Amino acid sequence: MTSASFNPIQIDRAAIQQSQSLSLKQGQVFHGTIKKLYPDQMAEIQIGNQKLFAKLETPLKAGDSHFFQVTSINPEAQLKVVTGPMQPSQTMAQQMTQLLDSMNLPKTAELQQILAHFIKNQLPISKDQLIQAENWLNNLPEGTLKNEAIQVIHRMIELKLPFTDEIFKGLLYGAKTTGIAEAIENFANVLSKENNNVSQQIKLNLLQQLQAISKPFAVETGGILLSKAVQTLLSSETSANNLQALNFLKEAEILPKNSTIPNWLSQSFQQITSKLLPNTEIQNSSAGQLVQTIAAANAADVQNMIAQVKEWLTNQQLLTSEQKSQLQQLITRFEALPKNAQTIELLAKQLHEQLIKSFSENAISRLFTQDENGDSAKNQLLSLMKYDATNNSQAIFSNILKVANDSADPFIQNAVTQADAQVLASIDSRAMEQALKTIFKSLGMSYEASLNSKGGDISEIAQSLKPQLISLLQDAQTSQPLKESADIILSRLNGMQLFSGESGPQHQLIMQVPLQFLGKHADATIQWNGRMKENGKIDANYARVLFYLNMEALQETVVDMQVQNRIITIHLYNDHPHLEILAEPLKQSLKTGLLEKDYQLSGLFIKKFENTKSQIINENVIQKNDSKFQNGVDIRI
């Protein structure tokens, strides 16, 4: 199966025609039959399943079919007859020839193909739209079928969308279920060769987002590398590894350049307390901000500050009970001392060292764990090493990984290998959720929504891929190859928005996800169809979710998941000959995982595609009773 594109579940053309009144625009041409004649040359005209009342420029006979052109819409629709009465004996080709002659258009194969489609589907189209549509068909990207393009044009007219290149390309690319990973990789290759037409800063920002997309676990790998380097420095052993770890952290700009093995901890403490925070509430502060607040406290504030520190430790979800106990002992010892600047600084330094030790351990052992504020152990560790690093943690961790990858030091290279292995071993559902969030954020899928709601950091939003692609395309200095590769990605991102929307109570969301990590490449398209609650949130009790996957080992795969009152039925389509055997050991974990989310698995049905090549994914393909599928193995639980 080559899953070139899909048709959205929610779009029922008959429902659209019934729910929307016919809306004509000046200049449009359509095929209609005169049903009734009224005085003053008014007529009732049948257009497909709908009726239109309009004023005719010349008297006609009831029952005849003509091609009409809209000459005016205000204050009433006025129609001009473009062709004479259509005889039942006339072929489609004869009708098209007559219409093209009347519109002074050439009889090209593309125009005839477009007209044949619109005559058959009883849709109005103007001369300008025909010319534009012909131009699109003559300049289709490689591998795109003309029928796909005509379906897109059909949709644009049906939904009254503007006839622009952006919308056409958005719908054309947005319907494809494969290729986004390849498009991003191609853009990265073209960008890497650009030295003169793109500023180095713009190039660096784009490459940073592309890395976040292609390596969504880079932040976790960077966090492990930071933790390993810190643990090496904390160890009592004196070896070449300590010096290599120190140099690595200095090169990654985590430690000051004047740091040495004996003083790196005090240098780190001075670095984060060089800009002391004013005495403030610390309940939701990072570990680094906690230390800064303690260091800035005076004797008069110490009682209130100690109470806040105790509460912070009690509520800290990223520390173990044993670690909390050790930290509480520090507080207890401090309470027995006189409260002055020296003892307060001593407490801040001891807490700083103990927190660094605890979070460096937990950043590895609890890799994908986050607290209720979305913080992780690696972020807490980073906050203890650099002042106010939490606002730019993703870039810092990515830079740590880059420095490590560029290093020729055997100790650092071994650490990278171990970090990759630990990330791979730790991947679970939470990790995949986090990776998808990273990809969506880096792509800029919610760019317009974020701007509209004025939520989030605008400067951070502007760094995502989509707004940077828009800027690149608007820049006159951008080379044509780079513009073309950027335009393909932007069209896909726009297409997701165009295909997502609502039709009455039904809502649809389309997301194309390039999965390129751990040495594997896969395209995933997620198509959700369901209802929204009154509060604007997804109704998780009833939905249909389709996953179009193109994976390195299993190749093309479609997963059709239907949810009815939290009871889930899954149909999986794939041509792998032994997939049912491979799936058998995973059934119970799937069932258990769904139960943890309060869902019940009704059954898992694995079937094969009958046609493995040149097949377009659409709603009929994924219907569970479709005759296009061969009989397969049904696993019912």
Q: Convert the pLDDT of each residue in 425-451 to its tens digit.
A: 888 777 888 788 888 888 887 777 777
Q: What is the pLDDT of residue 182?
A: 84
Q: Kindly state the average pLDDT of the residues 538-553.
A: 86
CB within 8 Å of 185: residues ≥ 6 apart = 214, 516
Q: Kindly state the average pLDDT of the residues 8-35.
A: 60
Q: What is the pLDDT of residue 266?
A: 93
Most confident of 67-71, 79-83, 204-208, 265-269: 265-269
- Between the two ends of the chain, the Cα-to-Cα distance in Å is 28
Return the H-helix or E-strand segment holding 138: helix 127-138
Least confident of 122-126, 269-273, 355-359: 122-126
Return the H-helix or E-strand segment holding 544: strand 538-551
CB within 8 Å of 309: residues ≥ 6 apart = 282, 290, 294, 331, 351
Note the pLDDT tens digit of each residue in 154-182: 988 888 889 999 999 999 888 777 788 88
Q: What is the pLDDT of residue 22?
A: 59
Q: What is the pLDDT of residue 404?
A: 93
Share of the chain above pLDDT 90, in %: 29
Q: What is the pLDDT of residue 610?
A: 66
Q: What is the pLDDT of residue 18?
A: 41
Note the pLDDT tens digit of each residue in 495-539: 888 888 776 677 888 888 887 655 666 778 888 888 888 777 788
Closest of 479, 466, 555 to residue 184, by C-alpha: 466
Q: What is the pLDDT of residue 538?
A: 82
Considering only residues 9 and 388, tell me which one the structure prediction assigns the higher pLDDT. Answer: 388
Note the pLDDT tens digit of each residue in 364-396: 988 888 888 878 999 999 999 987 666 678 888
Q: What is the pLDDT of residue 614?
A: 36
Look up residue 444 and give its two tokens: 């800029």
Is residue 135 scored above 90 in pLDDT? yes
CB within 8 Å of 442: residues ≥ 6 apart = 209, 212, 213, 216, 464, 465
Note the pLDDT tens digit of each residue in 39-97: 877 888 877 777 878 777 677 777 777 777 888 777 777 787 777 676 666 676 777 78
Q: What is the pLDDT of residue 256?
A: 92
At residue 280 the predicted structure's pLDDT band, cuts being 50, 70 and 90, is low
